[in-house]
């Protein structure tokens, strides 16, 4: 038996979490370095996975399979396809930046406090989330996936509810109330989704007799496992609902703005760039593979919901007064694009959606983390409290602008590639929906530029006149993200090469082929 690389990739951050939590109270800095080291080691393992993965090889690679609960046919089964590899790499890549960006977010208020433990907790929780996200991407057993999909909520709950921005317009007590509201809302939404999924998981077991994704998908493909149309639809809905809450899709989105607004910027990035990706990823892996017919049946409704998410999220982002809420609504708009790409059922749409998950992770991280640095300097999240920052902190403003331009999908930066692929993929099959979604790019320009104009340009407000520019640590966080945005914008081929074969498989799962162009001019 070969070295269990996938298990190791997930176990390493878990061990890191335990070790970080065990660091004595007074040695906070050691805990931070330990967490950073663990996340970097995980990144190294993830890169190994990336290298070992052969895009043209078998569908699932680096597989591991051990019996777990034999009586219920539960097996500990892991395996990655191109889509999962890309997302694992994204997760492992972002966590070190999140740790670095949150370096001081959980420091004690008064220095010299020897019994302050939350610092350790903060970093341990981040690593715990990473471990669970990675294993969710790896699991090919529905039961194993479900467990970690749900377990992720626990550390996330504490991260949202326990750590927030230091400054709040209505004082610390109001901040705590708001935070716990956001955390409970996050938990309840996701629990309800998870509950429906649990029912569907049990239902799937009753119908199929085991939990193995590969076995069920195979049996469905060769016809040995027949599912009644209505059964398939109900099971599909159970799964989809959970993923749509996580994604989040309109109208199940309202937890996201609250959660992102109240948590610290690194945690907000963790939510939207990492954890939410599990939802859209699971749509591709579980909904489409297990229930191809039901997926096609639900496509029109889902596309319309995705379209509403795109336009609605963007319009609401325009109307926000709070920087973080604005980014949250922008993310809702972007998740609309991802879901639209997945359910357009074209290879451009699905490759684009996968690429979008990666690119959105990077671009949101860049924008949100810089916004976090900005907020930590002024102690306010309100857009109106800023103005003229560009004059006093040009590097901060410049990086903020690049993050914003990535968010509005400027060609040359990575998100453009994925957004255009999604649009084209949708347009080839559903022209009207594709055209309406294109309005999203105008609205995106509107909310990004309005945000930039109000915060960064104009006369310098007295409150920001002494604002320091980006520090070395902050620059280390932002610069690599920007480099990646540019690299993946001009040369996305490495990622598409990994993703394309997996998408091809998924397309054949749902028995779909790309619409043929009217004139075969390219041939």
Partner 1 sequence: MENLIALLIAAPLLGAAVLLAGGRRLDRVGHWIGTLLSAASFVFGLILFADLLGKNAEHRTLTQHLWTWIPVGGFQADVTFRLDQLSMTFVLLITGVGSLIHLYSVGYMEHDERRRRFFGYLNLFLAAMLLLVLADNYLLLYVGWEGVGLASYLLIGFWQHKPSAATAAKKAFLVNRVGDMGLSIAIMLMFTTFGSFAFGPVLGHTGDTSEGKLTAIGLMLLLAACGKSAQVPLQSWLGDAMEGPTPVSALIHAATMVTAGVYLIVRSGAIFNAAPDAQLAVTVVGAVTLLFGAIVGCAKDDIKKALAGSTMSQIGYMVLAAGLGPIGYVFAIMHLVTHGFFKAGLFLGAGSVMHGMNDEVDMRRYGGLRKYMPVTFITFGLGYLAIIGFPGLSGFFSKDKIIEAAFAKGGTEGWILGGAALLGAAITAFYMTRVMLMTFFGEERWRNQPTRSPEAPSAEPAAETRGEHTEPHPHESPKVMTIPMIVLAVGSVFGGAFFSIGDRFLNWLEPVTGHSEGDSPLSAATVTGATMVCLVIGVAIAWAQYGRKPVPAVAPRGSLLTRAARRDLLQDDFNHVVLVRGGEHLTRSLVYVDHTLVDGVVNGTAAGFGGMSGRLRRLQNGFVRSYAVSMFGGAALLVAATLLMRAV
List residues binding partner 1 (CB under 8 A): 188-189, 250-251, 253-254, 312, 315-316, 318-320, 346-348, 351-352, 388, 390-391, 398, 405, 410-412, 416-417, 420-421, 423-424, 427-428, 431, 434-435, 438-439, 441-442, 445-446, 449-450, 453, 456-460, 490-493, 496-497, 500, 503, 514-523
Of 108 and 398, the one with the shorter C-beta distance to partner 1 is 398
Report, in Å, the least distance between residue 476 CB and partner 1.
Answer: 15
Report, in Å, the least distance between residue 362 CB and partner 1.
Answer: 17
Of 25 and 445, the one with the shorter C-beta distance to partner 1 is 445
- How far apart are the C-alpha atoms of 212 and 218, rounded to whole Å? 10
Structural tokens at position 49: 């996975």
Report, in Å, the least distance between residue 514 CB and partner 1.
Answer: 5
Structural tokens at position 78: 């892991």
Please report the sign of the dihedral spanned by the C-alpha atoms of residue 127, residue 162, residue 400, residue 463: negative
Report, in Å, the least distance between residue 253 CB and partner 1.
Answer: 8
Computed over its alpha carbons, how large is the radius of gyration of the chain? 22
Of 145 and 427, the one with the shorter C-beta distance to partner 1 is 427
Of 267 and 417, the one with the shorter C-beta distance to partner 1 is 417
Report, in Å, the least distance between residue 303 CB and partner 1.
Answer: 16
Report, in Å, the least distance between residue 207 CB and partner 1.
Answer: 30
Q: How far is CA 272 from CA 232, 245, 276, 328, 446, in A?
A: 30, 12, 5, 8, 21
Report, in Å, the least distance between residue 126 CB and partner 1.
Answer: 28
Of 56 and 71, the one with the shorter C-beta distance to partner 1 is 56
The answer to whether 121 and 106 are in contact (CB under 8 A) is: yes
- How far apart are the C-alpha atoms of 486 and 321, rounded to whole Å? 29
At 518, is the secondary structure helix, strand, or coil?
coil
Please report the sign of the dihedral spanned by the C-alpha atoms of residue 182, residue 185, residue 191, residue 194: negative
The answer to whether 121 and 32 are in contact (CB under 8 A) is: no
Of 106 and 410, the one with the shorter C-beta distance to partner 1 is 410
Report, in Å, the least distance between residue 366 CB and partner 1.
Answer: 16
Ramachandran angles phi, psi of 284, nearest 5°:
-65, -45
Task: Give, as one character, the DSSP assignment of residue 272.
Answer: I
Structural tokens at position 139: 């699991």
| Cα torsion through 22, 27, 30, 36, rounded to 10 | 60
Report, in Å, the least distance between residue 41 CB and partner 1.
Answer: 31
Structural tokens at position 406: 């990535």
Report, in Å, the least distance between residue 267 CB and partner 1.
Answer: 21
Instruction: Identify which of 463, 415, 461, 464 has the alpha carbon closest to the alpha carbon of residue 441.
Output: 415
- How far apart are the C-alpha atoms of 350 and 140, rounded to whole Å? 20
The answer to whether 135 and 148 are in contact (CB under 8 A) is: yes
Query: E strands along 138-292, which residues?
Result: none
Of 23 and 499, the one with the shorter C-beta distance to partner 1 is 499
Of 106 and 244, the one with the shorter C-beta distance to partner 1 is 244
Report, in Å, the least distance between residue 515 CB and partner 1.
Answer: 7
Spell 108-141 as b/e; 16+ CB within 10 A means b: eeeeeeeebbbbbbbbbbbbbbbbbbbbbbbbbb
- How far apart are the C-alpha atoms of 50 and 92, rounded to whole Å? 11
Report, in Å, the least distance between residue 521 CB and partner 1.
Answer: 4
Instruction: Identify which of 207, 21, 48, 39 has the alpha carbon closest to the alpha carbon of residue 119.
Output: 21
Of 57 and 412, the one with the shorter C-beta distance to partner 1 is 412
Of 215 and 262, the one with the shorter C-beta distance to partner 1 is 262
Of 100 and 421, the one with the shorter C-beta distance to partner 1 is 421
Of 56 and 520, the one with the shorter C-beta distance to partner 1 is 520
Of 147 and 460, the one with the shorter C-beta distance to partner 1 is 460
DSSP string, 337-400: HHHHHHHTTSHHHHHHHHHHHHHHHHHHHHHHHHHHHHHHHHT--BGGG---HHHH-HHHHHHH
Task: Tally the residues of the chain.
Answer: 523
Report, in Å, the least distance between residue 443 CB and partner 1.
Answer: 9
Structural tokens at position 177: 């109330």
């Amino acid at each position: 038996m070969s070295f269990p690389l996938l298990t190791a990739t997930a176990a390493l951050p878990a061990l890191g979490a335990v070790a970080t939590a065990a660091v004595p109270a007074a040695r906070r800095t050691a805990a931070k370095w330990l967490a950073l080291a663990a996340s970097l080691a995980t990144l190294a393992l993830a890169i190994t996975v990336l290298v070992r993965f052969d895009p043209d090889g078998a569908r699932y690679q680096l597989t591991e399979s051990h019996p777990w609960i034999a009586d219920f046919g539960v097996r500990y089964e892991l395996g990655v396809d191109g889509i999962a590899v890309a997302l694992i790499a994204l997760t492992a890549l972002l966590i070190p930046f999140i740790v670095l960006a949150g370096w001081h977010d959980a420091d004690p208020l008064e220095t010299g406090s020897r019994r302050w433990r939350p610092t350790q907790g903060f970093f341990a929780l981040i690593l715990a989330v990473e471990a669970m996200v990675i294993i969710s991407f790896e699991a090919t057993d529905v039961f194993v996936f479900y467990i970690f999909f749900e377990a992720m909520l626990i550390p996330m709950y504490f991260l949202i509810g326990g750590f927030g921005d230091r400054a709040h317009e209505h004082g610390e007590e109001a901040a705590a109330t708001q935070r716990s509201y956001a955390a409970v809302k996050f938990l309840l939404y996701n629990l309800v989704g998870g509950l429906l999924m649990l029912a569907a998981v049990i239902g799937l077991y009753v119908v199929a007799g085991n939990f193995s994704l590969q076995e069920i998908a195979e049996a469905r493909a060769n016809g040995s496992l027949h599912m009644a149309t209505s059964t398939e639809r109900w099971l599909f809905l159970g799964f989809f609902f959970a993923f749509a809450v996580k994604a989040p899709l309109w109208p199940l989105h309202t937890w996201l703005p609250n959660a992102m607004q109240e948590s610290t910027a690194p945690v907000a990035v963790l939510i939207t760039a990492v954890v939410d990706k599990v939802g859209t990823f699971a749509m591709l892996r579980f909904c489409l593979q297990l229930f191809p017919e039901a997926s096609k049946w639900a496509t029109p409704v889902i596309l319309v919901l995705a379209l509403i998410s795109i336009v609605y999220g963007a319009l609401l982002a325009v109307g926000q007064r709070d920087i973080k809420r604005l980014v949250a609504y922008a993310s809702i708009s972007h998740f609309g694009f991802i879901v639209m790409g997945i359910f357009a059922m074209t290879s451009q749409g699905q490759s684009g959606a996968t690429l979008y998950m990666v690119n959105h992770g990077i671009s949101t991280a860049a924008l949100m983390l810089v916004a976090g640095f900005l907020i930590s300097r002024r102690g306010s999240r309100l857009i109106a409290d800023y103005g003229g920052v560009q004059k006093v902190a040009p590097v901060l403003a410049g990086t903020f602008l690049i993050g914003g331009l990535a968010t509005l999908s400027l060609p040359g930066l990575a998100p453009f590639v994925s957004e255009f692929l999604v649009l084209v993929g949708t347009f080839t099959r559903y022209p009207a929906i594709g055209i309406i979604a294109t309005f999203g790019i105008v609205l995106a320009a509107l909310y990004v530029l309005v945000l930039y104009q109000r915060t960064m340009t104009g006369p310098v407000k007295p409150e920001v006149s002494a604002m320091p520019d980006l520090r070395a640590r902050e620059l280390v966080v932002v610069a690599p993200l920007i480099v990646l945005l540019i690299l993946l914008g001009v040369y996305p081929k490495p990622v598409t090469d990994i993703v394309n074969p997996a998408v091809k498989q998924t397309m054949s799962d749902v028995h779909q082929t790309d619409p043929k162009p009217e004139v075969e001019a390219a041939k």
